[in-house]
Structure 1
Amino acid sequence: MRALRTRSSLRGGFFAGLAIVLLALAEGAAADDAPPHVLFLLTEDHGSHLGFVGTAGVETPHMDRLAARGVYFERAYVNDPVCSPSKANLYTGTYAHTNGLVANTRDFFVPAEKLSPAQRFEPIYRRVRIRDHLPTLVEILDAAGYFTAASGKLHVAPNEKFPYDMMFRENTPARALAVIEAAAAAKKPWFFLANLSAPHRPFRNSEEVAIGVDPAAVELPAFLPDTPTIRRDFAEYLDSVEVADRQVGEILGAVAEAGVLENTLVLLMGDHGPAYHRGKMSLYPFGLHVPLAFAGPGVAEGRRTRELVSGVDVLPTLLELLGLPVPPTVQGRSAAPLVRGEAGATGAEAVFAEIIHGGQSRDDGMQERSVFDGRWKLIYRENADRPRDVNADLKFWALELPDGRVQPWHNRVYREIVARAAAFPDEHRMLAEIDPQSFGVTPPTFELYDTEADPGELENLADLPDHAGTLTRLKRTLAGWLRDTADPFTTREALIRDPAAG
C-alpha cells in the first residue's frame, strides 16, 4: 500500500504543479497570445514509406508537403511494434514494461462512463492497461484547458485515462471542422488525434479494383522474395499509403478552411511498420522505422535530421513545444530543440524496443528486446523456446472467427513464401523464425547487425569473433536499460553472463 500511495501522490503532485504553471502562464500571457492547437495524424501499420523519402512507386503529395514545411526525422523508431503498446508509448512517454500496456488490449471506443459491465470486466481489458499513476497525454492536455477529440479508434486502456470531449469513428473533413467549431464554442484550444486506419490490412484487392501503384514500379524490402504475387501485395500496401495520404490532405484542408492552420502544431507519425512478417510485431527495421514530421508554430522550416528519436520521446517533445511541464514519470527525452532547429541539438544516443509475447494472458512468454545506436543493432531474446505472438494479418488471406464470421486480411505473402520455400530458402528461414511454433524452429538468443553494410538486417554477426567487442558493448547498453527501467519480464541472464556486459 505504501507504494500505491507514493504513486498516487506522484501523479497528484504533477497535476498540482501543472495548475501552478498554467496560472503563471495565464497571468503573463498577452491577450492575443493564444496557445497553439494540436493535430496529431497517426497512421496505422505505416513504415517509413513516402514519396518524400524516395519510396519507389508511391505518391504522397500531402504528407510530402507537410514534411517539407517543417522538420522530418529520418531515423524515427517506435519502441514496440504492436498497435496498443506503441500507442501507450506515445501517450505516456514510457516503455510497455513500465506502463503495463504490454500487448494489444480491447478497443472499446466509448467514453469511460458508457462502458457496459461486460466491457468493463472483460479479462484482457482488465489485465492489459496503463497503470493509474502514469499521466497520459490526453489527461495532461485536458487539465491544461484543451478541448480534446479522437477519431478512428482508441485501442488503449483504461478508458478513464483518455477523457476525450469528442470521439467518432469517421475521418472526414466535416468531423475535423466539428472539432474546431466545438472547441471555439468552448473558447478552448483543441487537440485532435486523427487515427487513420490506412495502411492497415486488409488492403484494397487489386484483382477487384484498380489501384494507383504499379507492381512493376515498387522496390521490395530485402526479406521478401521477388515474385509477381508478392509485388502485387506490396503494391497494394503502398496504394493504402496513398489512401492515408488523401485522408491527411482532407483533414489538413479542413483545418486550413477553418482559418486556424497557421496556429496549429501538426504531428504526423506511423504507429509501427506494415503487416509483413519482418515488419509489424518484429524488432527489425521494417517493424520499427516510421515516418515522423512536425510542422507549425515554433517549428523550424524545411529541415531533415538523422538524429535518433523514438516513440517515448513524443510526449515530452510535444509538451515542451506547448510550454507545459513534463511528468517526472517520463522515460523519453524531448526532441523539441531539434524541432525548433536549435544549433547543436542532438537526439538519443540509442533507441530501445521490446515485444512482450503472450502478454494478454501470461507474464512468462517469449521476451524480445533490442538496442540500436545509429549503426549497430542488437536483438536479444529470453524464453526463445516459447510461442511467439503472430497477428492474423501477418499470416492469413482470411480467418474464420469463433462466431462464424470471416475476417479478410488479404495477406498474399506468407503462403507464397511457404509454397516456394525451395526456391527461396533464406526468405523462408526468416519467415519461420517469426512464426517458430509453426515450423518447429527456435530463433537465436542474439542477433547483431551492422546497418551501414546491411540496412535490411539480413546477416547476423553475433557469433563472429571479429565483432565480439561490439556485441559486448551493446549487451552492456541493453542490460543497463533493462536494469534502469526495472523490466520485470526479463532476467538479463544471458546478458549478465558476459562479464563485460553486466
Structure 2
Amino acid sequence: MFRQAVMLCVLCALTGNLLADERPNILFCMADDWGWPHAGVYGDPVVETPTFDDLARQGVLFDRAYISSPSCTPSRNAILTGQQFYRLGQGANLHSSLDPAHPNFMFLLRDAGYQIGHWRKAWGPGDHTALGYKEHPCGPGSKFTKFMKQRDADKPFCFWFGTSDPHRPYKKGSGGESGMDLAKVPVPSFYPDKPEIRSDIADYYFEVQRWDSDVAAAIRLIEEAGELENTIIVMTGDHGMPFPRCKGNLYDWGSRVPLAIRWGKKINPGQQFEEFVSLTDLAPTFLQAAGVPIPEEMTGHSLLGEMGVEEPSQPAGREFVVYGRERHVPAQKIPTMDGYPARAIRTDRWLLILNVDPERWPAGVPEGATHPIDKYADCDDGPTKQWLIAHQDDPDVAPYYALCFAKRPPVELYDCQADPDQVHNLADDPAHAETVEQLRGQLVKYLESTGDPRFTDGDAPFDGYPYRAKYLKSYLEKNGY
C-alpha cells in the first residue's frame, strides 16, 4: 500500500512538471504613449514597425483595441488587475497607488509557479508601497537579457517588457534627420497641416521605431533559448500619443491602441480581429492560458476563444467598449486637485462621451494650474501644443485650438464612420436625440453594473486622492501652498 502511494506521488509530480513545462511563457511588451494607428500594418505610410507587423502576421492583429483609461497609471492598473479603472480606488488616477487586495495577474502567475519580472516602465508612475505592496507589482526589475540568463529554465516565465518610448520629450527634428519624408506624415484633422506639426509627429514616430527595435531584440533572446513557439508575445501601448486631443482624451486618438498577439504553438497566423476588445481582457487571457482560475472581480474576459485557442465561452468580441478618465494631472485652478471626469461608449458607428463636470477645463486651465506645466497642464508640452497656443488668435487656427483646449459640452456624439477623427459633435442635433439617449442608457447601465462610483449611490472620491509625485509637493510649497 505504501509502495503504491509513493508511486502515485511520483506520477503526480511527473505529471505536474509536464504540465508546467507545457504552460506558455508570456512576454508582455508595452510602450509608453504609443497609440493607434501608428504601425505599418495598420496602413501608416511613414512609421516603420517591422516587429509589430511580423507579430500581427504570425498571430492576431486587433483592429479595435481600447484602454480602460487614457492615462499611464490607471491604464496599467486596469491591465494588471483585469478590471475597469474606476473600480480601483486610488488606482484610477495618475501618480497614484494600487491596493494589493485587487488580484494582480503577475502575482497570480507567480503563485502558480511562474517566474516574473519587468524592465523599465511597467506599473506606474506612483508609489506602490502606499497602500501595502511590499514589492513592485510586476515583480523584480532587471534587463531582459539578465532575466533570461538567470531564470529557472524549469519554470515558465511572465515578463513585463516596458519602455519610456515614445513618451515626451523628443529630440526636435529627429524624425526628419532619420530620413522620414515629412510630406507623407498624416496630420489628424483636428490640427492645421503645418511643417512644425508634421515634424513633431515624425519625432514621435522616431521613438516608436526605437521601441519596435527593442522588442525585436527581446524576441531574439526567446528564439535563441528555443522557446519562441510556446511564448505568448503581446505588443501594445498604454494609450494614445502625447499630443493635444490625444493622450488623456476619450477620442480614438487618445484611447485606441495597437495590439498584436502571437503564440506560435496555438494561434493560427494571419488572423485579423475587428470586434472590440479592452486591454482589461489581457489579464484573464494570460491566466486562462496558464491554467490559473480567473478571479470573479475581473471585468475583462479571456480572448483565447476569439483567437481560436479555446472553445469560446461567450460570443466573440463585444458590440461596444466602455472606458473613461478621472484625474490625469491636477490641471485645474491652483490649489485644487480636481481632475476631468468623463466616460465613453464606443460602438461600430458611434462614440458617446459624458463629461461629468463640463465647467472644468478638459486640458487644464489656460493659466494658474496646480500643476507646474501650468498652461493646459493636462496636455504634454511640445511643439504642436506650443504652435497652437502661439497662433490661437489666427482665425484659421482658432477652430483647431478650440478643439484641443476649449471647454466641452456635457454630452458629445460622433459618427465615427463619417467622421473618423471625431471632430463634429452631433449631440445637440435633434435628428440624433434618440441615438444619444439609447447610447447614454447603454453606457450608464454598464457603469452601474460594474460599480462605477460616479454612477452609483457611493462616493466618488477621485479628486481627493493623493497625487503621489514628489515634484508637485515641492512646487506647491515653493508657491506658498
The alpha carbon displacement at 1:399 in A equals: 6.0
Q: Residue 108 of structure 2 corresponds to which residue in structure 1? A: 140
Instruction: Look up the match of 1:432.
Output: 405
Percentage of matched positions with identical amino acids: 32
Counterpart mapping for 1:317-356 below 5 A:
317-340=285-308, 346-356=316-326
One-letter amino acid of the counterpart of residue 109, structure 2: L
| 1:250, distance to aligned residue in structure 2 (A) | 1.2
Of residues 291-300 and 265-274 in structure 1, the stretch that sits farther from structure 2 once superposed is 291-300
Matched, 1:377 2:351: yes
Looking at structure 1, the residues matched to 195 and 138 of structure 2 have their Cα atoms a distance apart, in angstroms, of 45
Contact (CA 8 Å) 2:175, 2:202: kept in 1 or not?
no
TM-score by length of 1: 0.78
AA partner of residue 29 (structure 2): L
**Could you list the runs of 5+ residues in structure 1 that have no partner in the other structure?**
1-22, 106-127, 169-174, 401-408, 434-441, 493-502
Q: Tell me, which stretches of 5 or more residues in structure 2 are unaligned?
A: 1-10, 375-379, 458-481
Aligned equivalents of 2:210, 2:187: Cα separation in 1: 20
Question: Does the C-alpha gap of structure 1 residues 69 and 362 become closer, same or farther in structure 2, counting only changes over 3 Å?
Answer: farther
- Pairing 1:296-335 to 2, within 5 Å after superposition: 296=263, 297-335=265-303
* 1:114-125 → structure 2 map (5 Å cutoff): none
Q: Cα offset for 1:25? A: 10
Q: CA deviation at 1:338?
A: 1.3
1:283 aligns with 2:250: yes
The correspondence for 1:57, drawn from 36, 41, 46, is 46
1:389 positional shift: 5.7
Alignment of 1:139-288 (within 5 A): 139-153=107-121, 154-155=123-124, 157-158=128-129, 159-160=133-134, 162=136, 164-168=138-142, 175-184=143-152, 187-206=154-173, 210-288=177-255
CA shift in 2, pair 1:280/1:259, >3 Å:
same
In structure 2, the residue corresponding to 1:339 is in which secondary structure? coil
Q: 1:209 to 1:234 in 2, by over 3 A?
A: closer
Structure 1 residue identity aligned to 2:432 = H
- TM-score normalized by the length of structure 2: 0.81
| AA of the residue aligned to 2:326 | I
- Does 1:415 find its partner at 2:386? yes
Q: CA–CA distance in 2 between the matches of 1:391 and 1:66?
A: 42
Query: Aligned partners of 1:343, 1:164: CA distance in 2, in Å?
Result: 30
Per-residue CA distance 1:162-200 (angstroms, 9 max, x = gap): 4555303xxxxxx32321232236x32111101121111
**Segment drifting more, 360-369 vs 92-101:** 360-369
2:24 paired with 1:36: yes
- Structure 2 counterpart of 1:189, one-letter code: P
User: Which range moved further: 360-369 or 87-96?
Assistant: 360-369
For 2:158 and 2:348, the matched residues in 1 are separated by: 33
**Is the alpha carbon distance of 1:364 and 1:235 closer, same or farther for their aligned partners in structure 2, counting shifts above 3 Å?**
closer
Contact 1:41 1:248 in 2 (8 A): yes
AA aligned to 1:349 is E
Q: Deviations over 1:407-452 (max 9, x none)?
A: xx7610112112223222221111223xxxxxxxx31100001111
Contact 1:222 1:456 in 2 (8 A): yes
Give the match for residue 453 of structure 1: 418
In 2, the alpha carbon distance for the partners of 1:221 and 1:322 equals 41
User: What one-letter code is carried by the residue in structure 2 that aligns with 1:179?
Assistant: F
What is the aligned residue count? 421
CA drift at 1:465: 1.1
Aligned-partner Cα distance in 2 for 1:390–1:343: 47
Q: Per-residue displacement from partner, 1:182-222 (whole Å, max 9, x unpaired)? A: 2236x321111011211111123217982242211211111
Measure, in 2, the Cα distance between the counterparts of 1:489 and 1:201.
31
Q: C-alpha distance in 1, partners of 2:139/2:346?
A: 38
Letter in 2 for 1:328: E
Take 1:160 and 1:391, find their aligned partners in 2: how far apart are those partners?
Answer: 37
Cα 1:137–1:450 shift into 2, 3 Å: same
The one-letter amino acid paired with 2:433 is A
